[in-house]
Amino acid sequence: MKLLIVEDEAGMRENMQQLLLQENYIVETATDYHSAREKLGVYNYDCILLDIGLPGGTGLSLLQELKKEGRTDAVLIVSAKDSIDDKVAGLNLGADDYLAKPFHFAELNARVRSLLRRKAAQGSDIITVQNVSLNTINRTLQVDDREIDLNRKEYNIIEYLLINKNRLVNKTALAEHVWGDNIDEVSSFDFIYSQIKNLRKKLKDSNALVEIKAVYGIGYKLTEL
């Protein structure tokens, strides 16, 4: 899978590149409108991570040109300008998703994965880790072909952790993903722990070869046994 990051802010660009390289993607970068235009003229990408405010032009006009040319590269707008207008404009112009800065790694990873999954051929709606497989269409979890009964939030948690397997998932990112962006300001995310506890029990009871580890104070990590 080949990705292009169009981002003028060096720190941001490096972070994203590093993260996505760890996920074994081929990652290229462009720092402004013109270099992005050049790269896009030569190569096709599976997913383009596009900033809106760029030197030399806006990400939106770049998107417009891509769509005019009939390109099918998935586009994820990653922008600091999370005003609704930009979001609506971006999605109307044919962007596939929109992620506002600042974001957590886990969220970016999940968004990219979901875009690529949507784009790829059939069969990729199943996420498999060891003897655990998650069907993202039916929203079901199977361990060794046996279905595990999950409620809506448990499903959302395990999906997020499976997508970000072996990565540290920040508890805020997890809460925002499962309970919505607006979950902010709750006095603590301790309530997530009881959900995780239920999940762990279900995974253990069905002899799943994955486990959810708590990483001191920061969040959780799903690892293979």
Partner 1 sequence: MKLLNYTTSYFAAILLLVITVWAAVYYYTMLDEIYDSIDDGLDNQKQLIIKKAGADSTLLNKPEFGEAGFRITPISREAANKLHDVYIDSSMYMENEGSQEPIRLLKTVFLSGGKYYHLEVATSMVEEDDLVNALVYALIWLYLGIVLPVLILNNVLLKKVWKPFYRMLSQLKDFRIDRSVNIQTQQTHIEEFRLLNNALQEMQNNNLEVFTSQKHFIENAAHELQTPLGIAINKLEHLAEQEHLSDQQLALLSSALDNLDRLTRLNRSLLLLSKIENRQYTGVTPVHLQELIQKITDDFQEQAQYKGISLTIDTKDCIVQMHEDLAMILLFNLIKNAVLHTPPGGSINISLQHCLLVIKNSGNKPLIKDRLFSRFDTQHPSTQSTGLGLSIVKAITDLYHFRIDYQYLDQHVITVAFTKTVIPDSFPN
Residues in contact with partner 1 by CB under 8 A are 9, 11-12, 15-16, 18-19, 80-85, 100-105, 153, 167-168, 170, 172, 179-180, 182-188, 190-192, 194-195, 215-218
Supply the minimum distance, in Å, between the C-beta of residue 85 and partner 1: 7
Quick one: 52 or 132, whose CB is closer to partner 1?
A: 52
C-alpha–C-alpha distance, residues 60 and 39, integer Å:
17
Contacts of 36 (CB under 8 A, 6+ apart): 4, 6, 30, 54, 62
How far from 55 is each of 36, 66, 71, 96, CA to CA, in Å? 11, 18, 23, 23
The helix-helix angle for 171-179 and 105-119 (nearest 10°) equals 50
Supply the minimum distance, in Å, between the C-beta of residue 109 and partner 1: 11
Q: Return the sign of the alpha-carbon dihedral for residues 107, 60, 29, 10.
A: negative
Supply the minimum distance, in Å, between the C-beta of residue 39 and partner 1: 22
Supply the minimum distance, in Å, between the C-beta of residue 179 and partner 1: 5
Supply the minimum distance, in Å, between the C-beta of residue 130 and partner 1: 21
Contact yes or no for 8/32 (Cβ under 8 A): yes
Quick one: 116 or 168, whose CB is closer to partner 1?
A: 168
Contact yes or no for 58/31 (Cβ under 8 A): no
Quick one: 53 or 57, whose CB is closer to partner 1?
A: 53
C-alpha–C-alpha distance, residues 223 and 167, integer Å:
8
Quick one: 197 or 204, whose CB is closer to partner 1?
A: 197
Quick one: 51 or 96, whose CB is closer to partner 1?
A: 51
